[in-house]
């Protein structure tokens, strides 16, 4: 990975497009008529496709997602992934993920990250931040070198596992990129054995990677890229001291990329101390996702379970995530939901890691319709089938609320957020509305399915955003 600092990103896009047109035209882009240097040979998994073949016809693409998307992800400059001169094998992985075109955060971030420049990026939940850093990270891995070249730090174990899985899928045609996930609560011996072999990318929670570094097991002195996903959480009081310790072990010319939906003052302080002339991206003109419709139901504490039962019977739920404010309430509510006859899992931080992994895996694969959880699940968890989020307990802060409701309406799709509000929550509700500059409406007797169920949403009645029209919203 080159450590060079960048030129103007707009100039880079132009250069990339020019180079790509030369390649698409079948003419060598080398000097003096020489053939360009060949990349690594195409691995077996790509079917032995050679330069010049119509390689796109050989891809194993997932079913096309025809759901409506809002301008959170469609308001782009019109770039293509091929405009960034990425390795063909990486492009194959991108397209086989079902990623057709870059989202706004990916358009802004990918060319800058490829140049080696530090980035401070702010974008909404569910708009493609993971691809914005994983694509340039994987592109810059040098397979001739056997040391750790990139480190991705995330705040939760579930997010680490999710990011490692995406990395493995994106890089499956690259022919040998070794990705390792390491988190607290797992067997240290397994990590020791894994690090004894070649590892190019480590995706980790802060405490575990620092432990491995201090024990001399994770060699990070040659790392050239460090990514902090959910940076605001990583720089909170829970983790900031650990992050500072980790950075002391990294080389001085490393590249640092920060991504999050919210950036408190702690992020600004960290940026001034550790980032070198960072390229700042802010796609947060408004805070909440356009595709999420928000309602509240005014209830007493005793009415909450009955209200939830009514919602289950009236809503068309693909999958739902239900948030409580304590681990004890999570378990009690999950038991109640099961007694009502609905399929339900629960997850919280006090559970054994092995069981947490199983719940996360099974829910993501659609084995259960409803998941009750604490705020463990508010950070970066991407489950496309979730179209309803219910705050059984209203959160304490606007930031937590923003992350919770962002579990639905992923990647510009439609979703529903319903809040059960008691008299004690009234002032908090108003505060959240004011801070996020959003409108949480009283729940109507019947909720229009076109607001959150894909098959009921007609393309013909959409506004340019791809979201519901004002008339539809008012009718709901």
pLDDT tens, N- to C-terminus, the chain (476 residues): 444 444 444 444 444 444 443 333 333 333 333 333 434 444 444 444 455 557 788 888 888 776 666 665 667 788 999 999 999 999 999 999 988 899 889 999 999 999 999 999 988 777 888 899 999 999 999 999 999 999 999 998 888 988 999 999 999 999 889 999 999 888 899 999 999 999 999 999 999 999 999 999 999 999 999 999 989 889 988 899 999 999 999 999 999 999 987 777 788 889 889 999 999 998 876 566 667 899 999 999 999 999 999 999 999 998 999 999 999 999 999 999 999 999 999 999 888 878 888 898 899 888 999 999 998 777 756 787 888 999 999 998 888 898 888 777 655 567 899 999 999 999 999 999 998 888 899 999 889 888 788 666 544 334 434 333 333 333 33
74: tokens are 């469609």
Same domain, 250 and 296: no
Does residue 51 sit within a domain?
no
How confident is the model at residue 143, as a pLDDT?
Answer: 94
Same domain, 219 and 195: yes
59: tokens are 């891809």
Backbone angles phi, psi at 261, to 5 degrees: -90, -30
What CA–CA distance (Å, rounded) separates 210 from 232? 19
How confident is the model at residue 25, as a pLDDT?
Answer: 39
Same domain, 266 and 360: no
The answer to whether the beta carbons of residues 135 and 5 sit under 8 Å apart is: no
Last residue of a domain, one of 237, 255, 282: 282
Beta bridge mates, 297? 420
Instruction: Scan for tokens 């099974």, then name that residue.
Output: 362
CA distances from 366 to 319, 321, 468 (A): 8, 12, 27
Same domain, 241 and 372: no
161: tokens are 């596992």
Instruction: Scan for tokens 């310790």, then name that residue.
Output: 245
How confident is the model at residue 60, as a pLDDT?
Answer: 84
Same domain, 145 and 265: yes
How confident is the model at residue 402, as a pLDDT?
Answer: 86
Domain that holds residue 147: 9-18+61-282
Same domain, 13 and 92: yes
Same domain, 385 and 430: yes
How confident is the model at residue 12, as a pLDDT?
Answer: 44
Last residue of a domain, one of 282, 305, 339: 282
Same domain, 210 and 112: yes
Domain count, the chain: 2
How confident is the model at residue 21, as a pLDDT?
Answer: 38
Write the burial class of residue 336 (CB in 10 Å: 0-12 exposed, 13-18 middle, 19+ buried): middle
CA distances from 338 to 305, 313, 365, 372 (A): 12, 14, 19, 11
Does residue 382 sit within a domain?
yes
Q: Could you tell me which residues come within 8 angstroms of residue 438 by beta carbon, excluding any fewer than 6 positions away? A: 286, 287, 288, 294, 432
How confident is the model at residue 372, as a pLDDT?
Answer: 95
Same domain, 228 and 85: yes
307: tokens are 């209200």
Same domain, 260 and 306: no
What CA–CA distance (Å, rounded) separates 209 from 204? 6
How confident is the model at residue 62, as a pLDDT?
Answer: 80
How confident is the model at residue 448, as a pLDDT?
Answer: 87
Same domain, 273 and 318: no
Last residue of a domain, one of 282, 312, 330: 282
How confident is the model at residue 287, as a pLDDT?
Answer: 64
What CA–CA distance (Å, rounded) separates 36 from 376? 48
How confident is the model at residue 417, as a pLDDT?
Answer: 93
Q: Could you tell me which residues come within 8 angstroms of residue 105 by beta carbon, excluding any fewer than 6 positions away? A: 121, 123, 127, 128, 129, 132, 281, 283
Does residue 50 sit within a domain?
no
Does residue 353 sit within a domain?
yes
Does residue 4 sit within a domain?
no
The pTM is what? Answer: 0.68
Does residue 135 sit within a domain?
yes
Same domain, 296 and 187: no
Which CATH number is 314's domain given? 3.40.50.300
């Amino acid at each position: 990975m080159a450590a060079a600092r960048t030129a103007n990103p707009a100039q880079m896009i132009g250069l990339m497009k020019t180079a790509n047109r030369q390649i698409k035209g079948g003419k060598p882009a080398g000097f003096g008529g020489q053939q360009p240097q060949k990349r690594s040979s195409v691995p077996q998994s790509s079917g032995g496709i050679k330069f010049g073949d119509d390689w796109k016809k050989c891809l194993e693409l997932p079913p096309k997602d025809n759901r409506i998307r809002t301008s959170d992800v469609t308001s782009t400059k019109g770039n293509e992934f091929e405009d960034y001169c990425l390795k063909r094998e990486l492009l194959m992985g991108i397209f086989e993920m079902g990623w057709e075109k870059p989202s706004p955060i990916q358009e802004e971030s990918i060319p800058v990250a490829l140049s080696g420049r530090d980035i401070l990026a702010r974008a909404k939940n569910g708009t493609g931040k993971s691809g914005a850093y994983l694509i340039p990270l994987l592109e810059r891995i040098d397979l001739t070198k056997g040391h750790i070249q990139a480190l991705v730090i995330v705040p939760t174990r579930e997010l680490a596992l999710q990011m490692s899985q995406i990395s493995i899928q994106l890089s499956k045609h690259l022919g040998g990129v070794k990705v390792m996930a390491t988190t607290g609560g797992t067997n240290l011996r397994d990590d020791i054995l894994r690090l004894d072999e070649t590892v190019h990318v480590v995706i980790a929670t802060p405490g575990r990677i620092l432990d491995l570094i201090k024990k001399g097991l994770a060699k990070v002195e040659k790392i050239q890229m460090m990514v902090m996903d959910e940076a605001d959480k990583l720089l909170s009081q829970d983790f900031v001291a650990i992050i500072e310790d980790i950075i002391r072990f990294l080389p001085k010319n490393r590249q640092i990329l920060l991504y999050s939906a919210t950036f408190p003052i702690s992020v600004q302080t960290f940026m001034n101390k550790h980032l070198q002339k960072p390229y700042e991206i802010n796609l947060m003109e408004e805070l909440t996702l356009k595709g999420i419709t928000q309602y509240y139901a005014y209830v007493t504490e005793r009415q909450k379970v009955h209200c939830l039962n009514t919602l289950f019977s009236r809503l068309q739920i693909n999958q739902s995530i239900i948030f409580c404010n304590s681990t004890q309430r999570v378990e009690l509510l999950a038991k109640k939901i099961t007694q009502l006859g609905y399929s339900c899992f629960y997850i919280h931080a006090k559970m054994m890691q092995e069981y947490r992994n199983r719940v996360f895996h099974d829910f993501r694969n659609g084995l259960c319709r409803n998941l009750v959880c604490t705020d463990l699940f508010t950070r970066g968890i991407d489950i496309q089938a979730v179209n309803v989020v219910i705050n059984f307990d209203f959160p304490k802060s606007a930031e937590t609320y923003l992350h919770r409701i962002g579990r639905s309406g992923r990647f510009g799709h439609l979703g529903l957020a319903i809040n059960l509000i008691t008299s004690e929550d009234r002032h908090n509700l108003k505060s959240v509305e004011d801070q996020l500059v959003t409108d949480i409406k009283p729940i109507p007797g019947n909720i229009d399915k076109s607001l959150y169920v894909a098959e009921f949403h007609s393309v013909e009645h959409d506004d340019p955003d791809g979201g519901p029209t004002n008339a539809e919203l008012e009718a709901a």
